Amino acid sequence: MLYRGSLAAGVLALTLPSVYAAPSAPRHTKSSLLYVTSYEGDLSTLNFTTSTHGASTASLQSAATTTACGKYPSWLTKAGSTLYCLDEAWGSNNGSLVSFGISKDGALTKLSSVGTIGGPVSAVVYGEGGRGLAVADYGGSGFNTYNIANPSNIVPVQGDVFVLPHVGVNPARQEAPHPHQAILDPTGKFLFAPDLGSDLIHIFTFDPVTLKYSPATPLVVAPGSGPRHITFLTLPGGKTVLYLITELSNSIVGYNVNYKADGTLSFDQFYIGGTHGPSEAVPAGAGGGEILISPDNKFLTVSSRHEGSLTINNFDKTNSTKIPSDPLITFAIDQKSGNLTWVQKFAAGGMTPRHFSFNQDGTLLAAGLQDDARVVVISRDPATGVLKEFAAALHVPGMPNFVIFSDANSKGRSF
């Protein structure tokens, strides 16, 4: 069932639409799969189904579950018919990388596993033919790479542990380097790793055949800002821009990326603003989460966690108690300059949207609500970038922290 929503005075009010199904109306059913990780051990496959029979209905159901990724699954990267899962392994000196084969019905079969530096939280495919996987390790202050040419036999390639020369501006969060993401640039020639603890973005060149990487000059960001995740966009005129979300200062920062003739990079900052846009202060205690660009490259959406600034109706229709929600904030991207214009703030469906993703055509957004044990699917208007209504929601045990649609590409993005 679709929950219709409107946002007024910071409150998202939800009401059920009327349902009428004409007896003679043809039924059209469509389904798609989502993959979800949850701290506390589950890697789940969910089935999102829409059905039209006079009126539209939607449902989200569990299709399969495995605990073979480990106790604390934290990230998924899909490459063809293989799903790579990271186990953050809280409290351990090492994490793990596990590969799974995907069946047509979404069931997952474990293929291989290998150890990582402690606390892996993000991975990306790179190298010739997608033969490599780079992993950022938050807890262990590391960055490591693997040869995944044979998903059934993952082979370690290289690994480094970073050292922080002095404690950062925020001693509680910046006592050590904390790489939070591994991502490939649009040219496929550079690996990036935002480091929340060191206030910089590591940059690496690499040999596409051997998969060996070498450090390049990092991008240094504002002290105490805590860079978390980045995303890239190549504008219609050919200019490449990088957008950064910072977790500690709750900012979105835009940089022009300059590819030099000598193979090096330089960056020019052209935009900075709060995660809530120019007209609204970020609530105290909030922390920037994910940052993604829509499939059509025209909109940028971020999640903000730990603020509970919105209130929505309970997804349990028998329970009248309102529930707090963190927001998803959307901006339109100027296709010439890359500048951002605020479009919308919409309830994420609960607390702590650590990650969200779009489906391939941008008509849906799925979010994992870590502190509410819930995954939601939200309908979206691709033309305006506006999130419209909750299409479906499902209780997912533990703390769901990452969700992607099955049409995700090898970069882990769902388009």
Whether the per-residue pLDDT at 22 is higher than 70: the answer is: no
Distance between CA atoms of residues 3 and 5, nearest Å: 6
Q: How many CA atoms lie within 13 A of 405 on its CB side?
A: 24
Position of tokens 């900075």? 272
Whether the per-residue pLDDT at 23 is higher than 50: the answer is: no
In percent, the amount of the chain with pLDDT more than 70 equals: 91
In percent, the amount of the chain with pLDDT more than 90 equals: 88
Whether the per-residue pLDDT at 12 is higher than 90: the answer is: no
Of 44-53, 173-182, 293-302, 326-335, the range with the lowest mean pLDDT is 44-53
56 burial type by CB count under 10 A (0-12 exposed, 13-18 middle, 19+ buried) = middle
- Of 73, 81, 72, 147, nearest to 108 by C-alpha is 81
**Whether 115 contacts 96, CB under 8 Å:** yes
**Side chain identity at residue 382, one-letter code:** P
Predicted pLDDT at 2: 39
Distance between CA atoms of residues 96 and 72, nearest Å: 10
Torsion from C-alpha of 51, 57, 58, 64, nearest 10 degrees: -60
Distance between CA atoms of residues 290 and 274, nearest Å: 14
Per-residue pLDDT band for 30 (boundaries 50, 70, 90) equals confident
Q: Domain residue spans in the chain?
A: 37-67+275-415
Q: How many CA atoms lie within 13 A of 211 on its CB side?
A: 23
Transcribe 369-405 into DSSP letters.
Answer: ETTTTEEEEEEEETTTTEEEEEEEEEE-SSEEEEEEE
Per-residue pLDDT band for 51 (boundaries 50, 70, 90) equals confident
Q: How many CA atoms lie within 13 A of 69 on its CB side?
A: 30
> What's the whole-number average pLDDT of the chain?
92
Angle at 85 between CA 197 and CA 34, to 5 degrees: 110
**Side chain identity at residue 373, one-letter code:** A
Other CB atoms closer than 10 Å to residue 96's CB: what's the count?
20
Per-residue pLDDT band for 234 (boundaries 50, 70, 90) equals very high
Predicted pLDDT at 53: 66
Distance between CA atoms of residues 157 and 148, nearest Å: 10
Predicted pLDDT at 48: 96
Per-residue pLDDT band for 5 (boundaries 50, 70, 90) equals very low
Angle at 268 between CA 266 and CA 271, to 5 degrees: 145
Average pLDDT value for residue range 92-98: 97
Q: Tens of pLDDT along 146-167?
A: 999 999 999 999 999 999 999 9
Q: Tens of pLDDT along 176-225?
A: 999 999 999 999 999 999 999 999 999 999 999 999 999 999 999 999 99
Q: Are strands 55-66 and 42-53 parallel, antiparallel or unpaired?
A: antiparallel
Whether the per-residue pLDDT at 8 is higher than 80: the answer is: no
Whether the per-residue pLDDT at 131 is higher than 50: the answer is: yes
Q: pTM for the whole thing? A: 0.92
Average pLDDT value for residue range 70-82: 96
**37-67+275-415 under CATH 3.40.50.2300, yes or no:** no
